[in-house]
Structure formats: C-alpha cells, structure tokens
Chains A and B, each alone.
Chain A
Amino acid sequence: MVGFEPSEDQKLVQETVRSFAREQIRPRARDADETGEIPAALVEQAWGLGLVQGTVPEAYGGFGNELSAVTGALVAEELGWGDLSIALHILAPSLVTVPLLEFGTEAQKREVLPTYTGENFRAATAALVEPRFGFDPAEMETVAEKKNGGWILRGHKCFVPLADEAEHMLVYARTGGPGLENVGVFLVRRGTPGVEILEREKNMGIKGLRTFEVRLSDVRLPAEARLETGEAGVRRLLDRSRVALAALAVGVSRAAFEYARDYAKERKAFGVAIAQKQAIAFMVAEMAIEIDATRLLVWEAAWKLDRGEDATREAVLAKQYAAERALEITDNAVQVLGGHGYIRDHPVEMWLRNARGFATFEGLAIV
C-alpha cells in the first residue's frame, strides 16, 4: 500500500543519524576538506552508531538488523547532509559487508564479517572504477584469469577509498567477455602480493576522503576468493551503490538548500531580504521541489531492491537524476550567496565541488 512515511524504527535511526550529523559531522566538515584528514575520534564515534555492523547477523557478531536499502537510503541522506567525505569514510566498511551479506559464501562471511563487528572501526574498500574515459563496468579492463584452480587478477583501479588501511578490498574484474554477468567480485586481503596502493589521489571535492589508485599485478587468489554473484549479482550491487550515492546526493542537496534558504532570509539588498526577490525565491523553491522529487525516486528504487526485484532502471534513473540535481542545487546555493558563496568561509562552494563528483562516482558507497 502506497506510503511516504518511514516506519517507527526507521524514524528512530533517521533521527539518531540526523543529530549525529548535525552535532558531530557538520562542525568538522570544513576542516576535513581543508586538511584532507578525518579525525579518527569522529570515525570511532560514528562507528558507535552501529550503522555498518547493525545489519550483520548475530552469528557473525553483528546486531542482526534487517539489511534494507530503504533504511540505508535514509541513513545515507543524513550522513551526506553532514558531510560527503566523512559519510563515505564512515560507510566504507559496508563496501565489503553488504556484498558479502548478499553474495558471500558461508566461509567468506565467517572469516571476514567479524572484522567489521568489533568495538572499533576497521576500514574496508572496493575497487571498481578504472582511470580512463568512458569507463563501463560491463567492459572493464581489469581481468581475472582462472589458473591452477585459482585466480590471477590484473588491472588498474582508481577512486579506491581507504585502500591504504583497508583490511579487505573487493575487486571487480572481468572473468570473460563483455557483460556484467562476466564480472567477478573477489575478496582480497590486506597485504596480498601484487596489490600496489599508489599515491593518494587529489580530487576537486571529497577532499577529506582518502582515495587511491590501485595497481593489480598478477595478484594470485584462491578459488574461494570469488563471491557467488551469479548472473545478476553484480548488477544488483551496482544498483545498490547507485541508490546509496543518490541518497547521499539528496543529503548534499538538502544541506545546500537549507543553507541558502536561511541566508536568503537574512541577507538584505535593495531594502528587503533577497528571499523576497522572486529571482532568489524561485530558485530556492525549485531546490525544495527537486530535493523532494529526487528523494522519492531514490526511495522507490531502494524499495524495489528490498523486494528483491530488478531495479536497474529505477536505480540508474534515480542516480542520474540525483547527480544532475545535486549539481544544479549546490550551484544555485553558491549563486544565492553571491560573492560570499565563492568564499571558503561558507560551505556552499565545498558542496558544489562535492556534488560535481556524483556523475563520476560509482561503487563508492553501498548501503
């Protein structure tokens, strides 16, 4: 039955993450962007919320909450509202836990999941994107070759978050011809020979988040390193990631909207608040409409994922729409602040830089 209201449980989670984002994340966002560092204490505090370990079954040390893309989207929006870099850092372990929960073998789950249900935050990551024009997951160049009952991985990845400290990395690699059904997902432990973490990347936005290029030179893996993604698993993981990123984009957009709205009511020009000028008021009204519109698209895609249905169309549309709107909305927020929006004393320019990334980000978050 059609409904637009989160459940009581979801509201509780949403409220908790919202106040954490307001009180803990937002005050540290600018510093993270300027220094490129996210305080370890903040990450530990966030870990205490149980966002990642919550969805791991009790058998592996987690809290055993249901793994729901809708709940994940609600969480991601709030974290994204706080700060995109910090959100991506905090959620990074789910890049491994969620695919394992969905497609891991029993042995993989037993071995790996307990690492991410302990007292402290432990980093995990995934390597999907490759550094070239027109990267297409269905035609990736990183290959996994079957040899002597195991796998050999070769390739070059980029945008791999926290690669330097990750205990596990999921590598997406082609095991045959083109097509997502021929993409394998491989569990790579920290320190595996042949995995080379290159220099930290320098990006226009999400500057607080450490991301790396990773070179894979004849990385030998046992047969058991592959997840059981079958025909449609990788597609589903990509869709989950799209939904998560789109939800983060809604969060960034909402942050920019709220800031611009409040500023416009305060700032006077020509004897009135600039919000009283239609040129500004309409921009802000459109931001509000588009944020709600995008959120509903995200929820619908997440809802389809939770029903176990093919949600590629919905996820792709939501992600694209969210990426475009986030750029528009953050750009308009800078515009509403005029010259002040261009100055780094205000957060809107940072949100614009962060939002520009959504068109490029893929596989960077999963919830």
Chain B
Amino acid sequence: MIDFELPENIVRLREAIHALATEHMRPISREYDEREHEKPWEFLRMMWEISKGTTITGEADGALREARGTRHLASVVSTEELSWGDAGLYLSIPNAGLGGAAVAAAGTPEQKQRFLARFREGEPKWGAMAITEPGCGSDTAAITTTAVRDGDHWVLNGTKIFCTSGLMAAEKSEGFVVVWATVDRSAGRAGIKAFVVDHHTPGMKVTKVEKKLGIRVSDTATLVFEDCRIPLDNILGSPEVEKERKEGFKGAMATFDATRPVVAASAIGVGRAALDFTREALEKAGIRIRYGTPPTKLTAVERDFMDMEANLQAARLLTWRAAWMMDRGMRNNLEASMCKAKAGLAVTRVTQKAVEILGPLGYSRKYLLEKWMRDAKINDIFEGTQQINLLIVARRIFGYSSRELN
C-alpha cells in the first residue's frame, strides 16, 4: 500500500519526544552551544534512564530488531524530533551510537551480547566509531592505522580524528570505540577490519577535542593508538583477509545503510526547527503563505518558504522510505544514500535561507536560528559527504564498481 500515516504507537512516541525536546532540550540549547565542551549531565542522565534498553540511534541487537516491524521508522521519526530539539544534544545522548551500529552490523551474537548489553544498565555509556584519519576521510579504504596480531592480542597503532563521542566512549564512561584498521595494507579494502577497543584500554589516548562550527556540545575527538593491545576476539567478523565477505570492510560499510537514514532524519529535525521558527516569525509579521496563489503573485518570501517546505518534505519522505525498507528487511544501500544526500543538502540550504529571510532575527545569537544553520552543515559532511553519497547513488545507477567511478 501507498500510505503516509504513521502507526499509532509512533505518533505517540513522537508526541512524547516532542514534549521532551521542548521542555528539556530547547531551554539549554544556547547555553551548551556557548559552553562548547561542557556536558549537560542532568539532561544526559535523564536520557540515559529513558533510553536504557530501548536505544535511539544505530544500536540493533537481534531481539530488538525482531520485536517490531517498525523499528527503523520509529527511529527516524524520533531522531527528527530530538534533533528538532537540538542536534548537538541529540548526538551527545549516551548510547551505543555508531560503534553500536557497527557491532550490530558486523559482530557475532556473542560480541553483540558482550559489547551491547552494558547499554541497558548502570551508569551512562557511549559507543563511538573511529574511521577518519588525518590523512584520509572520504577515502576510507586508504586508512593507515594498523592492527598486527601478536599472540592472543591485536596491537593497534595509528591516529584517528573527528570521532564523535570519542572522549566519552574512551575515557569518560565504560563504553567502547570501534576502530577501523588494516591487517594487511597490500590487500587494500579486504585488509580493513573493525576492532572493538574497550574504554580505558592502555595505549588508547584522547589527545584533542575539536572546536567546531556547530553541534558544539557533541565531542569530536582525536584518538591516538600506541601499541594498544586488545583481545583477539575483539575483531568484528572474520580475521581472514578475503574479498567479498560481509564482515570486515563490507560489514562496516553496511553499517551506513542503517545509520544514513538516521543522520538524514537528524538533519530534517534541524531543518524543521528552522522552518517552524521562520513560519512563526512570518505569522507574527502578518505574513501567511498563500498556497494555491499563482507564483507570479507570490512574494519572494512566500516562494522561498514553499521551496524550503517542499525540499524538507521530499527529504523526509525519502528518509521514511529508506527506514521502511529496513523494517521490511530490504536492501536499502541506494535509498539510504539518496536520503542522506538529499537531506544533507536540503537542510543546509533551508537553514541558510531561513537566516537570510529573517535578517536580524536570523543572524542574532539571541535566537537559535543561527545555531541551527551552523548545526545543519555537519549533515552534509559526516556519514559520507554530499559527494560520496552521490558517488554511491551514481555507481548503483550505472552499475559501476568503485574502480570504474571514483
């Protein structure tokens, strides 16, 4: 069926999260943007208590996955709502995060149990994923961090940057970091594996926390690995260097099929915040959008607003579709990149346009709009830049390998 009505349980979930976002996120939004590296512990603890066991991002263990046929749809709807509240705060919420998504996508049942169970109990914890290095970002196959086998251990060496919640996962909680490293550089992609490095493992050190354009409350960390020894069975998937296996590089890449719609949803939440704010400001000024009036009679502001609205809704529907596919067990690699590419760009433009339309109300730090514009931009960069997602879409359309189109 072609249908756009959210199921009752998701509608209720959305309402509950909207209330939470209004009450607990918006009021501290500005403060923690300005305080940059400080954590709003009260909010984080509250979210930990609420989300313990349910999880809002990436994490997916078998039981949960099977429990509901609408899990991913629920996930994108709630992510939009939380990011409507504050995208930086949303990214800071203690949970298994991207690292959890990687474990869920590429880990064995035993590993899922060992690494993910902790997110249902005790103190707040974070999971993180470290791929990006100073020398390579988009070109994930070019990473240089090495993992060498030494008896009962893997020994990691290298530097990772821009790791979301890296500080919280590695040093401020009993979380973990999933680190991508190569076991055999000559094997290229096939040699790249993902390793789970537990919190406070000797040899892993956070050396820097970045200052950023937006999402400032979320920590973005540099992690240095110096002879960092981890147990042999902390490798996700098979240690064999084989092409065409789901584990290792491919498994980790599959993580993105699950997380890109969530990132897209987060982007849409920020965009909607900006759109709502703009609509309210226009209404206060006595301007109502006249749908159905011929374009030649509309003001430029009305046209811009309708354009923003349509773009945002288009991105949202693409995102729902990608999530719906996952809920049905369909492969959504193409659709995940489509929604991410669309949402990242749409929201970047929507927020920038909103600031333009509202002039001083948009540019002033007295209001949150300028912050949303800064927050929005990250969605065009992480989890695959705009260009990388277009590349993926193009490859799928043309049936090209990454060698044929790069």
Q: Which residues of A contact B (CB under 8 A)?
A: 1-7, 10, 70, 133-136, 138, 180, 235, 238, 261, 264-265, 275-276, 278, 281-282, 284-286, 288-290, 292-294, 296-297, 299-300, 303-304, 312-313, 316-318, 320-321, 359
Q: Is the interface of A mostly helix, strand, loop or mixed?
A: helix
Having A138-B293, A278-B394, one finds 5 other A-B pairs with CB under 8 Å, namely: A3-B1, A136-B294, A275-B394, A281-B390, A286-B390
Q: Is the CB of A296 within 8 A of B294?
A: no
With A1-B7, A294-B314 known to touch, is A275 a contact of B291 (CB < 8 Å)?
no
With A299-B2, A320-B295 known to touch, is A289 a contact of B73 (CB < 8 Å)?
no
Residue of B with least CB distance to A281: B394
CA distance A359 to B303 in the complex (A): 13
Q: Is the CB of A5 within 8 A of B2?
A: yes
- Contact flags (1/0) for B298-325 with A, using CB distance below 8 Å? 0000000011011101110110110011
Q: Which residues of B contact A (CB under 8 A)?
A: 1-7, 70, 73, 291-297, 306-307, 309-311, 313-315, 317-318, 320-321, 324-325, 335, 338, 341-342, 387, 390-391, 393-394, 397-398, 400, 404-405
CA distance A238 to B293 in the complex (A): 12
From A7, A284, A300, A320, give the contact of B397 (CB < 8 A).
A284
User: In angstroms, how far is the closest chain A Cβ from the Cβ of B337?
Assistant: 9
Q: Is the CB of A275 within 8 A of B2?
A: no
CA distance A180 to B391 in the complex (A): 47
CA distance A136 to B290 in the complex (A): 12
From A133, A278, A285, A300, give the contact of B4 (CB < 8 A).
A300
With A289-B341, A316-B291 known to touch, is A3 a contact of B313 (CB < 8 Å)?
no
Residue of B with least CB distance to A180: B292
With A10-B2, A281-B398, A289-B342 known to touch, is A4 a contact of B321 (CB < 8 Å)?
yes
Q: Is the CB of B310 within 8 A of A318?
A: yes
Which residues of the other chain, A, contact B6 by a CB distance below 8 angstroms? 2
Which residues of the other chain, B, contact A134 by a CB distance below 8 angstroms? 294, 296-297
CA distance A282 to B391 in the complex (A): 7
CA distance A5 to B390 in the complex (A): 24
CA distance A313 to B279 in the complex (A): 14
Q: Is the CB of A285 within 8 A of B2?
A: no
CA distance A294 to B317 in the complex (A): 10
Which residues of the other chain, B, contact A286 by a CB distance below 8 angstroms? 390
Most chain A beta carbons < 10 A, residue from B2, B317, B320, B391: B2
Which residues of the other chain, A, contact B70 by a CB distance below 8 angstroms? 1-2
User: In angstroms, how far is the closest chain A Cβ from the Cβ of B5?
Assistant: 7
Q: Is the CB of B390 within 8 A of A282?
A: yes
Residue of B with least CB distance to A287: B397
With A4-B321, A317-B309 known to touch, is A303 a contact of B4 (CB < 8 Å)?
yes
Q: Is the CB of A282 within 8 A of B387?
A: yes
Residue of A with least CB distance to B389: A285
Which residues of the other chain, A, contact B342 by a CB distance below 8 angstroms? 289, 293
User: In angstroms, how far is the closest chain A Cβ from the Cβ of B299?
Assistant: 13
With A296-B314, A297-B317 known to touch, is A276 a contact of B294 (CB < 8 Å)?
no
Q: Is the CB of A136 within 8 A of B397?
A: no
Q: Is the CB of B292 within 8 A of A292?
A: no
From B3, B310, B387, give the contact of A303 (CB < 8 A).
B3
Which residues of the other chain, B, contact A2 by a CB distance below 8 angstroms? 3-7, 70, 73, 320, 324
User: In angstroms, how far is the closest chain B Cβ from the Cβ of A149?
Assistant: 32
CA distance A1 to B311 in the complex (A): 23
CA distance A320 to B307 in the complex (A): 8
Q: Is the CB of A296 within 8 A of B394?
A: no
Which residues of the other chain, A, contact B307 by a CB distance below 8 angstroms? 320-321
From A6, A275, A293, A316, give the contact of B398 (CB < 8 A).
A275
